[in-house]
Amino acid sequence: MSSLLRLATAGSVDDGKSTLVGRLLYDTKSVLADQLDAIERASVDKGMTTPDLSLLVDGLRSEREQGITIDVAYRYFATPNRSFVLADTPGHVQYTRNTVTGASTAQLGVLLVDARNGVVEQTRRHAAVLAMLGVPRLVLAVNKVDLIDYDEAAFTVIAKEFAAHATSLGYAEGTVLAIPVSALQGDNVATKSENTPWYSGPTLLEHLEEVPVAPDPHEAPFRMPVQYVIRPRTPEYPDYRGYAGQIAAGTVRPGDEVVVLPQGLKSTVESVDTADGSLDEAGTGKSITVVLSDDLDITRGDVIAAADNAPKVTDEFTAALCWLSSKQLEPGARVLVKQGTRTVQAMVEELNARFDEQTLSIVDAPEKLELNEIGNVSLRLAEQLPVDDYTVSPRTGAFIVIDPKDGDTLAAGLVGHRFSQLKGVTEPEVA
Amino acid sequence: MTTLEAAADAARDNLAALESEAIHIFREVAGEFDRPVILFSGGKDSTLLLHLAIKAFWPAPVPFPLLHVDTGHNFDEVIAFRDHVVEKYGLRLVVASVQDYIDDGRLVERADGTRNPLQTQPLLDAIADNKFDAVFGGGRRDEERARAKERIFSLRSAFGQWDPRRQRPELWNLYNGRHRPGEHVRVFPLSNFTEADVWNYIAREQVELPSIYYAHQRKVYSRDGMWLTEGPWGGPRADEEVHELTVRYRTVGDGSCTGAVESTASTVEEVIAEVQASRLTERGATRADDRMSEAAMEDRKREGYF
């Protein structure tokens, strides 16, 4: 069982997400006395009789004044068996870009709905974004069940509707769970509620503790973008030459046959080094330094990959883009693409489609892509890049799009992703 | 496997993941920036930062200098430790001195004697004068609420200022370090460490720290509910009684506003036990500067403070 779970939360304004996150921190004793004192004082000032747990997570003064959260915030809590990094993403409609940001590294998504309103547009939109980014598991926290008198029938209707939506997005049975909670009262967050005897599943915290984290398939082919070439040129290490990077997929061992891309040079791994000594094997996520048996010309931006299962090297591909900027995208736009450790010039040749995540339908050949929209584009690159399909190898199929003029991050990109991979998506009819 | 063994395994995995993430961040900056620098105060977070930088580039030396913003109100033990570390690893140290600014009138001493807010100008000048384009800091997102939204790559304007609305979305581990001339990027490799992680990692790696992090005898006086130490920064006032207590520091900052906590924890294991049992955050317990107002940190961050 993995000990670190990265999760992202999303919900509409007023679903009580800040209170839920505050409740998780509070019930795992991640809140200390001085923080509690501060929120108790503030709650009294606001005329409340119990501490307002949402104040624990509403960070910036500008937010507190407006009463909404405006950016992804990261929260930390732990139980004896697992540490949690929670990306708390705001629910306001124009901030879908934050959901994309929070979800890009998440292993589980917690979507929040108000039990009185059920599944709403935002819920469907967020679930679609999480599905697209390949977040393996979803939890629907049906909040404020105290306000519907802990009504089982109402909960079941919401749970079923959400399960149907998640299935249409490609989530298998067993990867989605709905839990009736009251963040305000604490029902089924960390403690099993006596008010919901009809619910036999785990509490939210139990589920987070026990949910299997999809391990990276051990047999996934090795991929490591080279970050930096380590050449000490010291008396002790006069000829050392190692390629530093973080393993994006698969595992590597001394003796493995590898290919360096985009050049296509073949070599053998001589050693897998760290400051703590050489390793017999290193897996996904580990930062290592690879020494090869041949003297090759390798620089930052190259990719070292399994020789018998290398990514394709290409200067054009199609990709899904989550557009994160208020500057709109039109065909012909010149951008920078950062993928792995390489940044190259690129041109958006065509906008092939726009995905309407609300109706799960596809709009053909849109004229432009605007903030918070998701589209499929054809990109042509100034250089050859080794790329994988995002659905096969997320870390080598992911890229960001950068504005060459001001350096802003414009979009999140997923190589090869087609919306029809989300089941139930309606392709436009061919005339 | 017993529960205890499972918990120990879990902790090990978590620290390994945090270490790999931090090393990846150091190497990205080394690959993409011209003149990075590590902010180094001699405190535990910056010492940990340096430890991770050493591991990231091993067996080559760390390819960055250190920058210390010296308030002039330092603990002697911390300055001695700083110089020891610089010597041991053959590093280059740049010092930006608040005292110099006060001596020549560019800054004026505050009425309360606190110098933490005075660090911003010397820091920004040092960054500009040395043309540093990436500045590593030991900030962690768990420290307080304004930091919970901090990016790992945090863009600062030519005035060193942080604008929450200009921060870029950070996706996967693809960091965007683009900046205009005169702007720089603050980089926080410890973003996802918690205070407990920092101490557990220090224990695991046997990282050497300044002695004041461990229990020692010290003459202190009480002000605003904190134990402050005697020093050239003034205090105690006539009405403040001096006690000799066994104390240690949970954070190390400007001597005028960093409080000690009563503690007998004299080893890293004892400190970990104490931190786990503590009911106060480290900043709440020991930093007068953060108590000034709820939004104190948000304001100072906008101005270009760490």
- Of the given ranges (A7-11, A59-63, A384-388), which has the lowest mean pLDDT? A59-63
Is the same domain home to B20 and B138? yes
Of the residues B5, B172, B194, the best mutation for testing chain A's interface (the one with the most A CB atoms within 10 Å of its CB) is B172
Question: Could you tell me the CATH number of the domain that includes residue B50?
Answer: 3.40.50.620
**Of the ranges A144-148, B137-141, B197-201, B259-263, which one carries the lowest mean pLDDT score?**
B259-263
A32–chain B Cβ distance below 8 A for any pair: yes
In chain A, the percentage of residues whose pLDDT exceeds 90 is: 62
Q: Does B20 contact chain A (CB < 8 Å)? A: yes
Decide yes or no: CATH 2.40.30.10 for domain A223-306.
yes
Q: Which residues of chain B neighbour A4 with C-beta distances below 8 Å?
A: 13-14, 17
Do B185 and B216 fall within a single domain?
no
Higher pLDDT, B301 or A139: A139
Give the chain B residue whose CA is nearest to the CA of A240. Answer: B59
Candidates B269, B248, B277, B273; CA nearest to B204 is B269
B204 inside domain: no
Q: pLDDT tens digits, residue range A107-119?
A: 999 999 999 999 9
What does residue B233 show for φ and ψ, rounded to 5 degrees? Answer: -80, 5
The pLDDT-based confidence of A16 (bands split at 50, 70, 90) is confident
Contact A398 B14 (CB under 8 A): no
CB < 8 Å to B28, chain A: 227, 341
CA distances from A419 to A361, A427, B262, B277 (A): 9, 9, 60, 50
Q: A223-306 and A312-421 share one CATH topology?
A: yes
> Do B163 and B51 share a structural domain?
yes
How many whole angstroms separate alpha carbon A270 and alpha carbon B143? 42
Look at domain A4-210 and name its CATH class. Answer: alpha beta
Residues near A264 by beta carbon (within 8 Å), at least 6 away in sequence = A313
Find the CB nearest A3 among B10, B173, B284. B10
Output the pLDDT for position A97.
76
Q: What is the mean pLDDT of chain B?
A: 85
pLDDT band at A68 (very low <50, low <70, confident <90, very high): very low
Q: Which residues from chain B sit within 8 angstroms of residue A1, using beta carbons?
A: 6, 10
Report pLDDT digits (tens) over B236-259.
888 888 889 999 988 887 767 788
Q: Does B174 touch chain A (CB under 8 A)?
A: yes
Same domain, B175 and B254: no
In this predicted structure, the answer to whether residue A66 has a pLDDT above a threshold of 50 is no
Identify whether residues B175 and B276 lie together within a single domain: no
Q: Are residues B104 and B237 in the same domain?
A: no
Residues B25 and B70 in one domain: yes
Q: Does B276 touch chain A (CB under 8 A)?
A: no
pTM: 0.90
pLDDT band at A67 (very low <50, low <70, confident <90, very high): very low
Quick check: A18 pLDDT over 90?
A: no
Is it the case that residue A431 has pLDDT exceeding 50? no
Asked if the Cβ–Cβ distance from B13 to A97 is below 8 Å, we say: no
| Level-2 CATH architecture, domain A312-421 | Beta Barrel (2.40)
Nearest CA to A21 out of A80, A76, A71, A61 is that of A76
- Count the helix, strand and coil residues of chain B and give each as a percent rounded to the nearest 5: 40, 15, 40
| Residue B247 domain boundaries | 210-291
Whether residues B171 and B228 fall in one domain: no
Q: Per DSSP, what are the bridge partners of residue A290?
A: A243, A272
Q: What is the β-pairing status of strands A287-292 and A342-356?
A: unpaired
Nearest to B171 among A38, A80, A400 (CB): A400
Pairing of strands A257-261, A265-274: antiparallel
B298 contacts A61? CB cut-off 8 A? yes
Laid out side by side, the sheet with B134-136 consists of B93-97, B66-70, B36-39, B134-136, B184-187, B153-156
Asked whether A258 and A305 are in contact (CB, 8 A), the reply is: yes
Task: Note whether A62 contacts B: Cβ–Cβ < 8 A.
Answer: yes
Separation in Å, CA A148 to CA A8, A123, A198, B242: 26, 19, 14, 59
Q: Does B17 touch chain A (CB under 8 A)?
A: yes
Q: How many domains does chain B have?
A: 2
Most confident of A55-64, B70-79, B185-194, B294-303: B185-194
Q: What's the rounded mean pLDDT across residues A141-157?
A: 96
Please name the residue that has the structure tokens 């009580």.
Answer: A16
Contacts of B285 in chain A (CB under 8 A): 34
Strand partners, A165: none
Give the C-alpha separation, A107 to A5, whole Å: 7
- Asked if B102 and B193 sit in the same domain, the reply is yes
Cβ–Cβ gap A33/B17 under 8 Å: no
CB–CB of B168 and A408 under 8 A? Answer: yes
- pLDDT-based confidence at residue B279 (cuts at 50, 70, 90): low
Instruction: Please state the domain extents for chain A.
Output: 4-210, 223-306, 312-421
Asked whether the beta carbons of A373 and A323 are under 8 A apart, the reply is yes
Residues B96 and B225 in one domain: no
Percent of chain A with pLDDT over 70: 89
Q: Which residues of B touch A78 (CB under 8 A)?
A: 194, 196
**Tokens coding A339:** 């993928």
Interface check for A275 against chain B (CB to CB < 8 A): the answer is yes
